[in-house]
Amino acid sequence: DIQMTQSPSSVSASVGDTVTIACRASQGIGPWLAWYQQKPGTAPKLLIYAASNLHNGVPLRFSGSGSGTDFTLTISGVQPEDSGTYYCQQANSFPRFGQGTRVEVK
């Protein structure tokens, strides 16, 4: 099984900051990584697929990069509505999610 490890587990940022979340796969998965945002009490939302492709309607301040085993989600100019938990998910085979990164925007 491919294991996914995210860091940090939580981050606190001020409005306008740049937030970076890392995700590492236990073995190479090519570009097949997705990122999701989840707010309390709601379902996850797809942000990015294939490591760097923005899903429909996702603000341009979100971006993704990486390939193989190391990936990054960047929020440039974070906004209050970006608070929530972010999950990476390998999409190379049977899905496996990272443990999540909680983002608090003050």
Partner 1 sequence: EVQLVESGGGPVKPGGSLRLSCEASGFTLSSYNMHWVRQAPGKGLEWVSSSTIMSSYFYYAASVTGRFAVSRDNAKNSLYLYMNNLGIEDTGVYYCARDCGGACRNYWNFDVWGRGTLVTVSS
Q: Which residues bind partner 1 (CB under 8 A)?
A: 32, 34, 36, 38, 42-46, 49-50, 53, 55, 87, 89-100
CB of 14 to partner 1, least distance (A): 26
Q: Are 75 and 105 in contact (CB under 8 A)?
A: no
Question: Does residue 8 have a cis peptide bond before it, meaning omega lies within 30 degrees of 0?
Answer: yes
Residue closer to partner 1, measured from CB, 3 or 18: 3
CB of 94 to partner 1, least distance (A): 6
* Helix, strand, coil share of the chain (percent; to 5): 5, 55, 45
